[in-house]
Structure 1
Amino acid sequence: MTDGLLGIHHVTAITDDAARNYKFFTEVLGMRLVKKTVNQDDIQTYHTFFADDVGSPGTDVTFFDFPNIPKGRRGTNSISRIGLRVPDDAALKYYQDRFEEFGVKNDGIQELFEKKVLPFEEADGQRFQLFSDENDNGVAPGTPWKNGPVPEEKAVYGLGPIEITVSYFDDFKKLLGDVYKMKPIREEEDVTLLEVGEGGNGGQVILRKDETSPARQGYGEVHHVSFRVKDHDTLKQWEEKYNELGMGHSGNVNRFYFEALYTRIGDILVELSTDGPGFMGDEPYETLGESLSLPPFLESQREQIEAKIRPFNTKRS
């Protein structure tokens, strides 16, 4: 029997400007840059990780910075919105005021599945949504950034429900249930809220039906979503399960900070990632994310990588 998923691990999106994206996430949202590294499949481009104070699994939004990539096109068959968690309704109001101060496009505080939410966008059109944990019970949040610009009692401290939009709604929902044991907990017309692991905001997917034109990946769009598994042995179980189901997959990919397994469900790239080793093993806590971090298998190429990659300053200490 395969051990179940524990919740959301991370979401990876595409930006057109790593430096602007860094300023937005650290100075406006108040999330910590816990790792500035490179895309291991395209080492001339950045891969940045924004998370809680110590890079806990289930708290990080990551970005690829592909030079000269065109703007993405919104549409169906895509991961359409990234969710982020804040402690309570008062924190949503704090961020609404903060977004007005910084000129961040937002739709005001709303209600979704009886939760208070605040939809907003980054400058490149990437769509997000803050979820209040006011009455949340489920996957535990992370630890707010202790030295960030947002008070700890208000700060983003984890990933919230991830929105996926597809034209093949019924088939996709069935696969989420059959393969990943996600359970529908709320169903409305053309939208279902599903839950995995301990549930709550840190373990939910919002599935929407949309039969319009397909999305096209580019900056401002999401690349993939990852769900948490306990460890190497659990990931191996999932690899065997994919084989039994006849699902194509990547095999175990060691990303140094975690191990990963990729498959595609329709048009959606789904990753499973181990909770460890994490982001604290190769840099001191005090200067986390301040310099270019490379996994050991890329360290011999540091000089070439640093010569090609576009530098930007992330020093805060």
Structure 2
Amino acid sequence: MYTIPGHHHISMITKNAKSNNHYYREVLGLRRVKLTVNQDDTSMYHLFYGDKTGSPGTELSFFEIPLVGRTHRGTNAITKIGLIVPSEESLVYWQQRLTSFGVEQSEITMYAGRPALLFEDSEGLRMALIASPNTKVAHWETYEGSPVPTEHQIQGMGTVEITVKNMHKLKATLSEIFGYSVATETATTTLMQSIDNELFGEIYIIEQDGISEKPGRGSIHHLAIRVKNEEELIYWNEQVKKRGFMSSGIVDRFYFKSLYFRESNGILFEIATDGPGFLIDGNIETLGEQLDLPDFLEPKRAEITAKLKPIE
């Protein structure tokens, strides 16, 4: 039986790729591992940030939509991204670093049972830096070019918060299809893990009634969870359909293969393979420095680049 080893990536909406690029590289110290376009709308930048190679589980991805409005917050949405840091000392470092860039933040607090620092990016995307000294993120690679010292660098995605009207439906989907287990539970929250006691596959569900979120800049489009290869992806495609959900079918995204489905509250999930990865059309030294296009878009490079504003 196959299992889910954790998160693969998470995708958000940004209004301005240039300022987004500055924030995630210069403030958070991540590497831009891929500068490409949305394969479904090539007039739109698609930016990926992560560790040295953009390992699965470290990738934050953004679609640029220049005309997008603000997010109207509500329920039935992915509402916060946890990012793993190595220690509570790292949280102190990040307090000082975020303050130096004028980023408002909470005091060091507890979030989903662990010490954390809560903040928002320049477009209101809600995030939490979570200290986890006992977590060994084996798939994370140090990025020597980061402005953040190695001992405090972000080590990938941790707890992802999802707010829904019906917690039990989402809980059932995660447990009965994908084998997530319940770590802690209250009347209105459930903390679930794909790997016991590990943040990099953790989903924190909050039950909240009210109006559904209207997405905009700084909102989260979807969460992608990891599978090893296409064989496993085929298996999960069948499980999703057996549960009665509509599947997109398997889509070749060049850097990985994936499928999409919405669970009962309307949350969009992607299931994505680990490979082939971002080095398929790049090299380790210059990864993310130039516009990369999948082979099927390369013949349209001149047409595509004519519609894009330079980021740098």
TM-score normalised by L of structure 1: 0.95
* Structure 1 residue runs of 4 or more that deviate by more than 6 Å after TM superposition: none
Q: What's the counterpart of residue 172 of structure 1?
A: 170
Instruction: Give a deviation string over 1:37-74, Cα, whole Å, max 9, x none.
Output: 00111110000000001111100100000120111111
Q: CA deviation at 1:114?
A: 3.2
State the Cα distance separating 1:141 from its structure 2 match. 4.9
Residue correspondence of structure 1 range 258-277 to structure 2 within 5 A: 258-265=256-263, 266-277=265-276
Q: Give the superposed CA RMSD.
A: 1.3
Equivalences for residues 175-254 of structure 1 within 5 A = 175-197=173-195, 199-254=197-252
Gaps of 5+ in 1: none
Residues 185-240 of structure 1: CA deviation (Å, up to 9, x unaligned)? 11123111100035511010000011122101111100000000010100011112
The within-5 A match list for 1:131-142 is 131-136=130-135, 140-142=138-140
Shift of 1:158: 0.7
- For the pair 1:158 / 2:156, whether they are aligned, the reply is yes
1:89-111 CA distance string (max 9 Å, x none): 11111111101110012112111
The residue aligned with 1:38 is: 37
Matched, 1:296 2:265: no
Query: For the structure 1 residues 199 and 44, does the alpha-carbon distance in structure 2 shift closer, same or farther, using more than 3 Å as the test?
Result: farther
Q: CA deviation at 1:116?
A: 0.8
- Cα separation, 2, equivalents of 1:187 and 1:8: 21
The residue aligned with 2:117 is 118
> Which residue does the alignment assign to 1:81?
80
Determine what percentage of the aligned residue pairs are the same residue: 40
* In 2: Cα distance, 1:37 partner to 1:199 partner: 35
- Correspondence for 1:50: 49
Aligned mates of 2:28, 2:5 — CA distance in 1: 25
Supply the AA of the counterpart residue of 1:216.
K
Which letter maps to 1:263?
A: F
- Structure 2 gap segments, 5+ residues each: none
Is the 2:32–2:50 Cα contact (8 Å) retained in structure 1? yes
Contact 1:140 1:202 survives alignment (8 Å): no
Could you tell me whether the CA contact under 8 Å between 2:6 and 2:201 is conserved in 1? yes
- String of CA shifts for 1:247-303, please: whole Å, max 9, x gaps: 211111010111111000121000000011011121121111111100000001100
Q: How many matched pairs?
A: 311
Query: Partner amino acid for 2:6?
Result: G
The corresponding residue for 2:102 is 103
CA distance in structure 2 between the partners assigned to 1:132 and 1:83 by the alignment? 10
